[in-house]
Amino acid sequence: MSETDAQTTLFVRDTMLPPQPAPDKVSGPLLWLRENMFSGPLNILLTLLGLSIVWLVVSTIGPWLMHSVWNANGMAECRQIIAERYGPDASGACFALIRERWNQFVFGFYPPALYWRPVMAFTLLFFALAPILFMDSRKARWTVLALASVLGFLCAQLLGADGQTLIVITVAIVLWILVIEYGRSKALLLSLAYPFIGMWLLWGGSLWVEIMILAGFALAFLAFRLTQPMLGLIALAVAAAVIGVWWYFLADPAANALEQVIPLGLGKVPSSQFGGFVLSITIGVAGIAMSLPLGILLALARRSDLPIIKMLAVIFIEFIRGVPLIALLFVASLLLNYFLPPKVEFDIILRVVIMVTLFASAYMAEVIRGGLAALPRGQYEAADALGLDYWKAQRLIVLPQALKISIPGIVSTFIGMFKDTTLVTFVGLYDPLKAMSDTVRATFAWKGAYWEPYIFVGSIFFILCFGMSRYSMYLERRLKRENR
């Protein structure tokens, strides 16, 4: 058609007109405004409503934030400074409180000279997570590892770790990075050992205790391997017996003896000195790390064909999910000591971690069950066709895929649990939100500071949880892409 046009018309334009900007009404910010905010009476109304909400929030909080004071020794001084600067009627935030006490909000009553230890435990957490979460994208992995190691190292240095410690830290970091880069399966083993490393860093004591506990697993595995050809399933019982005997009778003397020969001790920090975000993160991470294996077992049990095992799993999961966490925390603080033999003493953090673990494992089991159910049936059938037995099929075919699908759910469970760690305040632990704020406020200098601690603690929770939820959404999107 264009050809005929070209031949029949007398005039052919051979140069293009310079493009004109679209008229104001159909482009530019005005159009955007009209289309997005004022496209109809309802929309106009909504926009006005939204604007008024924004205005209300800004006009009430804005001046208060603008008048904030960052340098003062108490509320009285704060008020005085605000009155001097902005007139007698002005009200302002007194963030000097945070400036003076932020150590307490973050580390609780942890000995200041040892602040580097929780920092390192937190840093190494990312190393432990790297082979699980960040293995698919080298860029993400390197960014995370580099950021974690540099920040961790700097913090440790600023918080007063001595030269020798810094050297050990550097060597450990470099070695771990090398393992992650060059031996994935070994890195996974290190990740499995992380809870013990973290425990050692936080509570101190002799590293040999943790090593001996790990050695129990190794021995049990060895015993299982050696006896399985002869005994088959009974080998499991043998392994359990080995681990029990080792832990109950031999681990402690062995650790003591080894400590005598090669001391690997850090100064002990009692649980009563834990508080603030160190406490929250410790409880949260410990709960998730320990609830993961438990959750997997429960999920498998709930999907199992064996009616009694299935029933037990269902009872446990539904019981835990039907009861508020506060009730379980009160069980930890009021009743758990009754359930244990008379002379056994558990400190309250350990008891809370146990209850939180049980709590999280029920939710975890449901998340993983979802992952198992989402796995195409063909995978199970393929595993059967290959002649794998139940555990081999689970270990080699089903669980790796199901867990991968469940990661976003696991992350959301973690977010929920991390937020819930604030409830430990009701059993007398110093969580950052209520107990710490109350402690700070109970001193005469800071009486009457209500909003500042809430804002500070709230923002930190927001940053952590929001970051994690974004990450889990990213994972979810990626999984969707991969499964397509």
Task: Write out the binding residues for other proteins, residues 291-320 only, by CB under 8 A.
Answer: 305-309, 312, 318-319
Half-sphere exposure of 242 (CA within 13 A, CB side): 20
Is the separation of the CB atoms in 315 and 302 below 8 Å? no
Is the separation of the CB atoms in 68 and 94 below 8 Å? yes
Which residues are CB-contacts of 364 (< 8 A; sequence separation ≥ 6)? 288, 291, 292, 294, 295, 296, 298, 299, 410, 413
H helix count then E strand count, the chain: 22, 2
**Residue type at 338 in one-letter notation:** Y
- Contacting range for other proteins; rule: CB under 8 A; set: 8-16, 102-110, 143-151, 206-214: 102-110
Q: How far is the CB of 87 from other proteins (least distance, A)?
A: 19
Residues 391-450 that bind other proteins (CB under 8 A): 415, 419-420, 422-423, 425-430, 433-435, 438-439, 441-444, 447-448, 450
- By CB under 8 A, name the one of 323, 374, 386, 473 that touches other proteins: 323
Backbone angles phi, psi at 69, to 5 degrees: -115, 130
36 interacts with other proteins by CB under 8 A: yes
Q: How far is the CB of 13 from other proteins (least distance, A)?
A: 40
- By CB under 8 A, name the one of 120, 283, 292, 457 that touches other proteins: 457
Nearer Cβ to other proteins (168/463)? 463
- Contacting range for other proteins; rule: CB under 8 A; set: 33-41, 189-197, 198-206, 250-258: 33-41
47 interacts with other proteins by CB under 8 A: yes
CA distance 101 to 275: 13
Contact characters 226-265, other proteins, x per CB under 8 A: ------xxx-------------------------------
Q: How far is the CB of 262 from other proteins (least distance, A)?
A: 25
Of 422, 464, 434, 107, the C-alpha closest to 275 is 107
CA distance 302 to 311: 7
- By CB under 8 A, name the one of 252, 454, 473, 474 that touches other proteins: 454
Q: How far is the CB of 387 from other proteins (least distance, A)?
A: 13
Cα Rg of the chain (Å, integer): 30
CB atoms within 10 A of CB 122: 21
- What's the Cα-to-Cα distance from 367 to each of 132, 149, 324, 436, 457, rounded to whole Å? 17, 32, 19, 33, 29
- By CB under 8 A, name the one of 26, 462, 474, 483 that touches other proteins: 462
Q: How far is the CB of 399 from other proteins (least distance, A)?
A: 19
Residues 167-186 that bind other proteins (CB under 8 A): none
Nearer Cβ to other proteins (190/223)? 223
325 interacts with other proteins by CB under 8 A: yes
Instruction: State which H helix or E strand residue 234 sits in.
Output: helix 234-245
CA distance 128 to 193: 9
Nearer Cβ to other proteins (321/477)? 321
Instruction: State which H helix or E strand residue 245 sits in.
Output: helix 234-245
Backbone angles phi, psi at 229, to 5 degrees: -55, -35
Residues 266-295 that bind other proteins (CB under 8 A): 270, 272-273, 275
- By CB under 8 A, name the one of 3, 5, 89, 345 that touches other proteins: 345
Strands (E), 282-403: none
Q: How far is the CB of 367 from other proteins (least distance, A)?
A: 12
Rounded to 10°, the helix 435-442/451-483 angle is 160
Residues 49-78 that bind other proteins (CB under 8 A): 49-51, 53-54, 76
- Contacting range for other proteins; rule: CB under 8 A; set: 20-28, 39-47, 122-130, 207-215: 39-47
- By CB under 8 A, name the one of 39, 71, 80, 256 that touches other proteins: 39
Nearer Cβ to other proteins (286/435)? 435
User: Residues touching other proteins: how many (CB under 8 A)?
Assistant: 88
Where do runs of H (alpha helix) occur along 303-424? 307-321, 325-330, 336-339, 348-374, 377-385, 390-392, 399-420
Q: How far is the CB of 106 from other proteins (least distance, A)?
A: 12
**Beta bridge partner(s), residue 67:** none
Query: Which tokens go with 188?
Result: 């996974």
- Contacting range for other proteins; rule: CB under 8 A; set: 104-112, 155-163, 189-197, 285-293: 104-112
